[in-house]
């Protein structure tokens, strides 16, 4: 599997990362183990998790697997803090107290003394950014995180975070954003990363599953769009405009004789400024499709055509 540096840092990761969002929900314990082992065997190194995934089970299972199935030192483990669910409600707490308490709990579940990259999960308008970033700074200084970054920050927010951390001589290594042919709203973060030197990792490169083509003729009963655990997860991308983009990707895939998912992954992965993309497979078959896409480079005319149709 291809490897790239995260921004201008010395840390390299596989261009395909394994996301664990569905672990503990759509993915059971045994399947999670199979996915991680297959990902590692294919040369994958970047594994992304968070305390909210599976209500903590994703981190717990990953911690078990890092002591039994895959060497901890072979992986770049990314986790987050600042977002949690309480009595079914989404809550944000990026205070220093909340962030560091969350990190300690993550390390316990992961059975490790540090994460490789620790991210502020979301922007918190109720907490001064300096306070949130102070928690990231302390995590590095105390050895509980090797690198830090942000997730779901707009371009100006990521740039401001970069500037504040730079003053503390703690580099902002990574910004995670949603990025796909169907989600271009946060493209500005790619430009900020290229200009300032931090890496960008895209999540949901398959447009929350819509770019696989599975929704072209309705909503399958076993899909996330039909799942009670992910209400509204894919609904925003099931409009007439988005269907046109899906059809363009599907047409490109037929011309290249590859799955539509491969086209979507290759397009997202090779965007200017993108270090890696995260795939959240629920089956080994889905993972193999994502791994196979690592060898696909889209012809220039195909990429240009998809660029144009996705911007509409």
Nearest C-alpha neighbor of 164 from the set 188, 187, 191, 198: 198
Burial of 300 (0-12, 13-18, 19+ CB in 10 A): exposed
Nearest C-alpha neighbor of 78 from the set 145, 3, 152: 145
The predicted model gives 20-41 an average pLDDT of 97
Residue 153 has pLDDT above 70, yes or no: yes
Residue 182 has pLDDT above 90, yes or no: yes
Q: How far apart are CA 198 and CA 175, in angstroms?
A: 7
| pLDDT given for residue 218 in this prediction | 54
- CB contact set of 87 (below 8 Å; sequence gap of 6+): none
Q: How far apart are CA 149 and CA 145, in angstroms?
A: 10
- CB contact set of 89 (below 8 Å; sequence gap of 6+): none
| pLDDT given for residue 226 in this prediction | 45
Residue 257 has pLDDT above 60, yes or no: yes
Total number of residues shown for the chain: 312
Secondary structure of residue 147 in the 3-state scheme: strand
CA distances from 250 to 97, 213, 292 (A): 47, 7, 17
The overall pTM is greater than 0.85: yes
Residue 13 has pLDDT above 90, yes or no: yes
Residue 240 has pLDDT above 70, yes or no: yes
The predicted model gives 18-27 an average pLDDT of 96
Kindly state the tokens that stand for 159: 């740039």
pLDDT digits 0-9 by tens, 43-94 = 999 999 999 999 999 999 999 999 999 999 999 999 999 998 766 778 999 9
CA distances from 288 to 39, 51, 107, 284 (A): 9, 26, 29, 6
Cβ contacts of 67-72, under 8 Å, gap ≥ 24? 67/111, 69/33, 69/36, 69/37, 70/36, 70/37, 70/40, 72/112
Q: pLDDT class for 121, splitting at 50, 70, 90?
A: very high
The predicted model gives 289-310 an average pLDDT of 97
Nearest C-alpha neighbor of 79 from the set 107, 54, 57: 107
| pLDDT given for residue 67 in this prediction | 95
Q: What residue ranges do the domains of the chain occupy? A: 3-209+273-297
| pLDDT given for residue 235 in this prediction | 76
Q: pLDDT class for 219, splitting at 50, 70, 90?
A: low
The predicted model gives 271-276 an average pLDDT of 97
- Supply the mean pLDDT for the chain: 93
The predicted model gives 250-259 an average pLDDT of 96
Alpha carbon of residue 156 to chain centroid:
20
* Domain at 3-209+273-297, CATH homologous superfamily: NADP-dependent oxidoreductase domain (3.20.20.100)
| pLDDT given for residue 196 in this prediction | 98
Secondary structure of residue 170 in the 3-state scheme: coil
| pLDDT given for residue 214 in this prediction | 79
């Amino acid at each position: 599997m291809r490897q790239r540096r995260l921004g201008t840092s010395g840390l390299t990761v596989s261009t395909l990362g394994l996301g664990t969002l569905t672990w503990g929900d759509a993915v059971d314990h045994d399947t999670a183990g199979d996915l991680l082992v297959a990902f590692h065997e294919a040369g994958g190194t970047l594994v992304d998790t968070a305390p909210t995934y599976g209500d903590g089970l994703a981190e717990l299972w990953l911690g078990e697997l890092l002591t039994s199935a895959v060497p901890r030192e072979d992986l770049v483990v990314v986790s987050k803090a600042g977002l949690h669910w309480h009595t079914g409600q989404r809550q944000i707490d990026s205070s220093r107290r909340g962030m560091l308490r969350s990190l300690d709990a993550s390390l316990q579940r992961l059975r490790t003394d540090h994460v490789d990259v620790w991210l502020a999960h979301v922007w918190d308008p109720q907490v001064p950014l300096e306070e949130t970033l102070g928690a990231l700074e302390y995590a590095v200084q105390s050895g509980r995180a090797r690198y830090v970054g942000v997730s779901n920050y707009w371009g100006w927010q990521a740039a401001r975070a970069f500037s504040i951390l730079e003053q503390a001589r703690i580099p902002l290594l990574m910004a995670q954003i949603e990025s796909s042919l169907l989600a271009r709203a946060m493209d500005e973060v790619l430009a900020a990363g290229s200009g300032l030197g931090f890496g960008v990792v895209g999540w949901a490169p398959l447009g929350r599953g819509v770019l696989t083509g599975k929704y072209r003729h309705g909503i399958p009963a076993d899909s996330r769009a039909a799942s009670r655990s992910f209400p509204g997860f894919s609904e925003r991308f099931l409009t007439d405009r988005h269907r046109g983009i899906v059809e363009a990707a599907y047409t490109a895939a037929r011309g290249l004789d590859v799955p539509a998912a491969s086209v979507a992954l290759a397009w997202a992965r090779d965007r200017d400024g993108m270090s890696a993309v995260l795939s959240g497979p629920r089956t080994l078959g889905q993972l193999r499709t994502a791994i196979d896409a690592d060898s696909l480079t889209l012809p220039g005319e195909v990429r240009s055509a998809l660029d144009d149709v996705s911007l509409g």
